[in-house]
Structure 1
Amino acid sequence: MHDDLQVLGRAVKQAQYRQHRAMDSALAAVGTTLAQWDALRAIDRSPGASARELAAATFQSEQAFGTLVGRLAAQGLVERRPGHGRRIQHHLTPDGERTLAAGHGVAGEVLAGCFAALSAAERATLLELLQRLNAQE
């Protein structure tokens, strides 16, 4: 039983690793990385969010996200604005929106390739199962 669970856990990790490598490689063609594009996606989904909220949304520590968003701001992709109290709000710049859009196109192609071995019904089942597992948190 434990061996089966370890094999399953490793298979999930291997699929994720393969997908991340493919995404990172393809996103380089549009001038970004997976971590940067993921941060842009999170900011786009929650404009004005704090670093704490965005770090949680991107599965990073606040310190790691702060370093990342600093690089994005230096590249002109993200703007940080004062919020209520000490809170800093994060917003995409027009260049950030263009990079995000280019990344969406790349991601669509990469993910289609990553999941090409599965039928639409199998992909739907996999999504349902993963969502059920993630709802346990």
Structure 2
Amino acid sequence: MHDAARTANLLGAVALAVTDRALTGATRGAGMSSSAAAALIVLKTAPGLGVTELGRRVGLTQSAAARMVDSLEADRLVERRPGAGRVVTVTLTAGGRRVARQLLDARGAPLAGVVAALDEDEQAALAQLLGKLLTRLYQESGDADRLCRLCDRASCVKGAVCPVGQAERDAREGG
């Protein structure tokens, strides 16, 4: 008989260890918080967000997001630009784009190392299972932007459909 509690516990241990590897390497190398790293990655994919929306996507209040943008702007990684009306948008500078790419690379390397412990068939099976779990997580949160805030979107859709994006499209069509 399968022990679901053990499987859940193993998943928790793997999730924490993988998170530690992915975030620690990326943020330590860049010398920034995980929220700031996520902000650069989000802006790489969605340039021109307002501070409030950027904060929402990385899990910060508007005031915390404004302070983070101030810091990123002081480091010349982002710049504020006037938008429509009173809206101010945030975009990456050339340096910010470079750091965002470095963050994704630093995040991806330890993850690739973990996956390399599996053979090709096991990797395919894991990808299918992870897609199923991500679909469930999206159904519970309904927030693709937050769920994928540190994703390397280009690698996610290379030869495949992003499971979170598909879950979001399915939710829109069904609801």
**TM-score, normalising length: structure 1:** 0.78
Pick from 109, 121, 125 the counterpart of residue 124 of structure 2.
Answer: 121
Deviation at 1:14, TM superposition (A): 4.1
The letter of the residue matching 1:128 is G
Whole-angstrom distance in 2 between the partners of 1:109 and 1:23: 8
Is contact 1:39–1:58 with CA below 8 Å preserved after alignment? yes
Secondary structure at the aligned position of 1:79 is classed as strand
TM-score (norm 2): 0.63
Q: Deviations over 1:83-104 (max 9, x none)?
A: 1222110000111111112112
Offset of 1:12 from its aligned partner? Answer: 4.9
Q: Is residue 20–residue 34 contact of structure 1 (8 Å, CA) maintained in 2?
A: no
* Residues 72/112 of structure 1: CA separation in 2 closer, same or farther (3 Å cut): same
Distance 1:50 1:5, change over 3 A: farther
Partner of 1:83: 83
Query: Residues 55-134 of structure 1: matches in 2 within 5 Å?
Result: 55-118=55-118, 119-134=122-137
Match of 2:165 in 1: none
- 1:25 corresponds to: 24
8 Å contact kept, 2:40–2:96: yes
Q: Distance in 1 between matches of 2:65 and 2:11?
A: 25
C-alpha distance after superposition, 1:50-91 (max 9, x if no partner): 122222222333333222222111111010112122211000
* 1:60 aligned counterpart, secondary structure: coil
Gapped regions of structure 2 (runs ≥ 5): 143-175
Q: Are residues 52 and 101 of structure 1, via their aligned partners in 2, closer, same or farther at CA, if it must alter by over 3 Å? A: same
Q: How has the CA–CA distance of structure 1 residues 5 and 83 changed in structure 2, closer, same or farther, with 3 Å as cutoff?
A: farther
